Chains A and B, each alone.
Chain A
Amino acid sequence: MIINVARKELKSLFSSPMGWIILALLMLAFGSFYLQGVNNYFEVMSGSIRPAERVGVTIFVGQTVYGIASFLMLFAVPLLSMRLISEERRSQTLPFLFSAPISLTEIVVGKFLGLIIFLSILVGYILLMLSTLNIWSDIDFGYLLSNSLGLILLAASFSALGIYFSSLTSQPIIAAILSFIALFALMGLDKFFGSQPNHWFGYISLMKHFQSFSRGVIDSKDIIYFILFITTFLVLTVRRLDADRLRG
């Protein structure tokens, strides 16, 4: 059942110009940063003579591309997630889902999964693009995989939060703005508490947990953090939809 809901969501993303445009624009951005990264690599490396200053091409280009990817997701995900529930609320199609033999959890997880599959197209594309470096050099695939995993977890967290805000309102654009502000705050929490690196407030920042992935470290602590983050917001969404049924 979850798969059927996810399929419907994917179909709906691809049947509007929104999905295609975001996909195309992001790929254009990633592509140009990749090219720039490769160009810069030769300039910078020819300048640095001492071995300590030299960085591998994977890390050099990867850092640029994944850095910009995590930043762009901040804009792209709210735009994609905003419609998931609020649009159904606005066009009154929720009864269609509610009166089908699907539980609320299945609806929410299905919608979430649909969006994740859509976003993983982007992550897959970045991975493929960076793998082309392997044609003329020997790249570190472990680093790429760790970054991809980090990026997909980050995007999934964004989506979970986006779905929750989408369930609160019947205006997609309000959902987008709210989730963008919330995400921006959560991303920057560690910057605000930069003076106290071990403060718990800094610890709940999304970026802080993405950083270890971007260094190539897969830390179970960070994975658990992301999973908890996603679960929290999905549960909140289910509860919000259940309140519709109870309160009317």
Chain B
Amino acid sequence: MTKATLNAIDLSRQFGDNFAVKDVSFHLNKGEVLGFLGPNGAGKSTTMRMLTGNLAPTQGGVKICGIDIIENPKEAKALIGYLPEIRPLYKEFTVNEFLSIAARFHKVKSSYVHKAVEAVKDKCGLAHMSNRLIENLSNGYQQRVGIAQAIIHNPEIVILDEPTVGLDPIQIREIRKLIKEIGKKHSVILSTHILPEVEMVCDRVQIIDKGHLVFHGSIDDLKQQRLGNKLLIGLSKPPTLSKLKSIKGVEKVEKDEQGMLVMKFKDKYLPAEEIVSLATKQNWGLYHIAPHVTSLEDIFVQLTQVQTIKNRITKGK
């Protein structure tokens, strides 16, 4: 088992009477990018604020490399780099000034500050912006400065709260590339509500809804859920459904809104070739055959709805 760099144990946070986050437990392994997924107001940012010591949890605790963030906040915080949802940038400073302040605040040795600033600027593609005021930088570059201040002290864990919000597609791609690169050396927690982003960047996924964890597993698990063992078939002269069901290995046949057929097969069984040859033999008019992909959005809706139903049941008791 790989050593966990971050452990969240039964984290709960109450605002007034309602729980923003309730009993969230998870861990982060070394050198892993963990995606934190959830709709708006699900408790992503609250969880991240608790992980970084910006907010005290009502219950539970956070351990950074074995150090409790509530008991030893200084030691624990030195191991974290954090970029909140709203970039904490002092706009009156230049990029160089701001980054050296960030380095000093994170206990980078004064003789090494200059080197650290240069290195992080290279990494984030900020070298040509060194002496520009942060105020005058574009949104994308400001975001890079935000990421740069989070990784300047080479932390064990980098926590990024919605790092690609409000950027244009090219900037988003660049930031994603940067995050992937960071993920090679550090452990990263990334929160977002953009599903494909998680698939592109993360190794492991966690879905949170209304303060509860509803799913956690590797990205492959999520893909598995997404792909299933289904084929989407278009036939212009379809036979009866019962005839299709009689094909070996078929579990379920359904018609979707566009008149396409969704065939679900038993595990490890995908008789696509058989269906094609059958279709040509019997002249079904095959015009489309492809693996059926449930969109991440659908899975997301499924997962969050399952949770609400479960909640209703428990409440009904």
Query: A residues engaging B (CB < 8 A)?
Result: 1, 4-5, 7-8, 11-12, 15-16, 91-103, 245-246, 248
Contact = CB atoms under 8 A, between A and B. Distances in A.
Contacts of B106: 100-101
11 contacts: A1-B105, A12-B93, A91-B91, A95-B88, A96-B90, A99-B53, A100-B102, A101-B75, A101-B107, A248-B15, A248-B46
Interface in B42-87: 46, 49, 52-56, 73-75, 77-78, 80, 82, 84, 86
B173 interface: no
A4 B54 contact: no
Contacts of A11: 93, 97, 101
Nearest to B80: A99
B88 A102 contact: no
A245 B97 contact: no
Given A15-B93, A101-B78, A248-B13, A93 B107 contact: no
A4 B55 contact: no
Interface of B: 13, 15, 46, 49, 52-56, 73-75, 77-78, 80, 82, 84, 86, 88-93, 97, 101-102, 104-107, 149
A96 B149 contact: yes
Nearest to B52: A99
Given A99-B82, A246-B56, 4 more contacts: A92-B86, A99-B53, A245-B55, A248-B13
B105 A4 contact: yes
Given A245-B55, A246-B56, A12 B92 contact: yes
Contact of B92 (A5, A7, A16, A96): A16
Given A4-B105, A101-B77, A93 B55 contact: no
A11 B86 CA distance: 23
A81 B84 CA distance: 26
Given A245-B55, A248-B15, A96 B88 contact: yes
Contact of B54 (A8, A16, A95): A95
Contacts of B88: 91-96
B62 to A, nearest CB: 12
Contacts of B55: 245, 248
A103 B82 contact: no
Nearest to B91: A91
From B49, B54, B75, B78, name the one whose CB has the most chain A CB atoms within 10 angstroms: B54
Contacts of B84: 92, 95, 99
Contacts of A8: 90, 101, 105
From B75, B77, B88, B106, name the one whose CB has the most chain A CB atoms within 10 angstroms: B88
